[in-house]
Structure 1
Amino acid sequence: MAKSRNNLLGVGGQRKKLSRAEQQAAGPSRNADRQTAEEKKQELVRKMRERAQASAASSDDSADQDAPAQS
């Protein structure tokens, strides 16, 4: 008769003990992801501000050029 395969206790090694934060997917890797996301957001905001300033400056320049012609 074949051996019983129901008793697999201890097979496959030991698991690392997870902290509560890591169990809730809030471990160190999540903090790193959060920082990366924050950096991307800051970069996006910076680009948007630069574009807004550039478009405001170009519209101001065109308004200044049009103003003397009307006087």
Structure 2
Amino acid sequence: MTTDASMLGRLAADLMRLHHEFDPSRFIAPAWRTAARYADFLEAQRLRDDAIVASVHYPDTDSR
């Protein structure tokens, strides 16, 4: 698994957690393996010929 997939999996789990905290009646909380499962899914998609996995990285603006 790539480092990018692992990081995107963690970000997806964080987003799930944030949504759940905002409205637990509408959004499920992430499970203990959510980040790894998202990463596995994204990695599998990356290896397909008919799929694209895209993300955006904004440089840290606080480091100036």
TM-score, with normalisation over the residues of structure 1? 0.32
Higher helix proportion, which one?
Answer: 1
Tell me which structure has the larger Cα radius of gyration.
1
TM-score, with normalisation over the residues of structure 2? 0.36
